[in-house]
Amino acid sequence: MTEQQQQRDDSACAVDLSASALPESNSNAEVFTTTIKSAEPESGFAGFGFSEALLRTLADKGYTDPSPIQKAAFPELMLGRDLVGQAQTGTGKTAAFALPLLERLESGQKTPQALVLAPTRELAMQVAESFKAYSAGHPHLKVLAVYGGTDFRSQISALRRGVDVVVGTPGRVMDHMRQGTLDTSGLRSLVLDEADEMLRMGFIDDVEWILDQLPEQRQVVLFSATMPPEIRRLSKRYLKDPAEVTIRTKDQEGKRIRQRSITVPMPHKLEALQRVLDACGGEGVIIFARTKAITLTVAETLEAGGHQVAVLNGDVPQNQRERTVERLRSGSVDILVATDVAARGLDVERIGLVINYDMPFDSEAYVHRIGRTGRAGRTGEAVLFVTPRERRFIRNLERATGQPIEAMEVPGNTAINQGRLDRLRKRLSEAAQEQRPEADEAALLQELMQRVATELELSPEQLAMAALNLAIGPDALLRKGDDDWIQNTRRNDRDRDRERNSGERRERRERPARAPEENMQRYRVEVGHRDRVKPGNLVGAIAGETGLQGRMIGRIQIFDNHSLVDLPKGMPEEVFNSLRCLKVMNRELQISQAS
């Protein structure tokens, strides 16, 4: 046994030889008491070079094992390398860059050392709060969030007093840099968080302007859920020999969110929404609507139905937004009706259901919307409302998430009533197992029940029914009324499907595909009329990726959900592979040889 092993064994076990453990004088047997002190399990965050203070902070917060994106990013970022990370929302990206940046900060510098750019105010606030939480063991470290809609002067005052980490939206960061109130001369690290969302929101030019003003020697970290060509170009221009980390969501993790869709005509959407909430509504719900006006209409309708509702859209002032999110987090509000302004940076664990009241504009927006549930290892549900005309877009969303979207029917009265009874039974069972926190109060309540039962000569069953009536309130528990329109909707959907299928078969018979020329090979790509793609889009994208001249690309046939493209035979394998991930109209081609 080595000396080190002996030391570990000595520290793990201690023999108690106190007086109580020694044998009595008249005893025939010697008795010894041995106390085993088990060594504390080592944190999964140890071994990355983090300080003891940071490891203690993570342990206090219950963090035991890093996520896959964190395991891959920590070693590279601790070495000071540039990094491009691709992972879906909710995978621990904030800690993946925040922890190494905190450890690499130098004490004594008054100007900011790290700058994080985020696409929305909500995400900027969330990231700043994460930095503050992780830096609990470093009380002198200062973090500041800067974004529009808040007092500019207070941000200037904080920057003048000295800040270590600045988290902000591109527009407000640019304002401070142009006015000279944000000194980036000592900046050591820049993080672009949710880069694809900044591209989608039109901030990419602002981001490039900021990058051009920064010191030549700095670490640049780029995190994104997807990698559009523009983001790839940005990384190649501004990052130096970056490490690349791509985390694919495991099947079991993706399946934590059950995705379903309801086909409902526009006039019945509000009625269908109320029925879904009655049947599926749980702890916390977010309803995404397309416009501010729709959020107000939906919220007013739900409030009239007795729901606790709040609204979050672009007209809501920043301080009120923060209060609204806190009310949702604390449980004083159960339903949040929001535009996509809340799709990023809203992290509330109690969200169990996300409803897409309106079809999102693209698949990426859908991914980020449903990512508000199923967080921190929990399960969640997502329900998508589609009109009959929008159903053809569901396949796009399934490809984006890698999971099927189940068809769901509008809940009828029977399903709603069963759901209400189940929830009442659950609440009753939980209440029966809980004790009142104050013993004196519980005794008074028992005395009250006995007095009422005696005065009114009530049996225990009658007394329990009276308590239930009091808890339920004056409104009826079971839903009644006409739900025949649901059956009519289902019948219309089936008729429409039959007509469409027969029309597609007729179109295939009437339009036989022409064979490609001898020197050409036909390929299928998964974009079509539904994606608003034109032949020029395909020619430009393929020519730009492969170097082929436009005239070398043959016949292009565009159908509803796919297209056929004739390309020269003998295309090299690496060129073919590059085309698989090429995006046209924000969708991957997924090219394959046509049958």
The DSSP string of 66-77 is: --HHHHHHHHHH
Note whether 372 and 354 are within 8 A (CB): yes
Phi, psi of 304 (to 5 degrees): -65, -25
Give the pLDDT confidence of 478-518 residue by residue, as tens digits.
Answer: 777 666 667 666 655 555 555 555 544 444 444 555 677 77
Give the pLDDT confidence of 203-257 residue by residue, as tens digits.
Answer: 888 999 999 999 989 999 999 887 888 888 999 999 999 999 887 654 444 457 8
Domains and CATH numbers, the chain: 3-36 (no CATH), 52-246 (3.40.50.300), 257-415 (3.40.50.300), 513-593 (3.30.70.330)
CA end-to-end span of the chain: 68
Indicate if the pLDDT at residue 64 is higher than 70.
yes
The residues with which 260 forms a beta bridge, in sequence order, are 383, 406
- Ranges 63-72, 393-402, 573-582: which has the least confidence: 573-582
Indicate if the pLDDT at residue 260 is higher than 60.
yes
Cα–Cα distance list, 467 to 74, 421, 463 (Å): 56, 16, 6
Instruction: Of 153, 150, 114, 149, give the one whose Cα is nearest residue 134.
Output: 114
Note whether 550 and 563 are within 8 A (CB): no
Give the pLDDT confidence of 538-555 residue by residue, as tens digits.
Answer: 888 887 777 777 777 888
pLDDT band at 302 (very low <50, low <70, confident <90, very high): very high
- Ranges 20-29, 207-216, 253-262, 520-529: which has the least confidence: 20-29
What local confidence, expressed as pLDDT, does residue 294 receive?
Answer: 92
Q: pLDDT averaged over the chain? A: 80
Interatomic CA distance for residues 88 and 97, integer angstroms: 15
What local confidence, expressed as pLDDT, does residue 97 receive?
Answer: 94
Evaluated on CA atoms 142, 147, 149, 152, the torsion sign reads positive
Interatomic CA distance for residues 518 and 568, integer angstroms: 9
The two beta strands, 351-356 and 592-593, are unpaired
CA 419 to chain centroid: 27
Percent of all residues in the chain with a pLDDT value above 90, rounded to a whole number? 24
- Helix or strand run (H / E) with residue 386: strand 380-386
The residues with which 385 forms a beta bridge, in sequence order, are 262
Interatomic CA distance for residues 568 and 173, integer angstroms: 49
Q: What Rg, from alpha-carbon coordinates, does the chain have? A: 31
Q: How many residues does the chain have?
A: 595
**55-82 in b/e burial notation, b at 16+ Cβ within 10 A?**
bebbeeeebeebbbbbbbbbebbbeebb
Note whether 593 and 520 are within 8 A (CB): no
Give residue 55's identity as a one-letter amino acid code. L
- Helix or strand run (H / E) with residue 16: strand 13-16
Interatomic CA distance for residues 192 and 574, integer angstroms: 30
What local confidence, expressed as pLDDT, does residue 377 receive?
Answer: 62
What local confidence, expressed as pLDDT, does residue 370 receive?
Answer: 87
pLDDT band at 175 (very low <50, low <70, confident <90, very high): very high
Q: What is the mean pLDDT of residues 318-336?
A: 86
Burial class from Cβ neighbours inside 10 Å (0-12, 13-18, 19+) for residue 301 reads middle
DSSP 89: T
Indicate if the pLDDT at residue 15 is higher than 70.
no
Could you tell me which residue, 249 or 370, shows the higher pLDDT? 370
**415-444 in b/e burial notation, b at 16+ Cβ within 10 A?**
bbbebbeeeeeeeeeeeeeeeeeeeeeeee
Indicate if the pLDDT at residue 189 is higher than 70.
yes
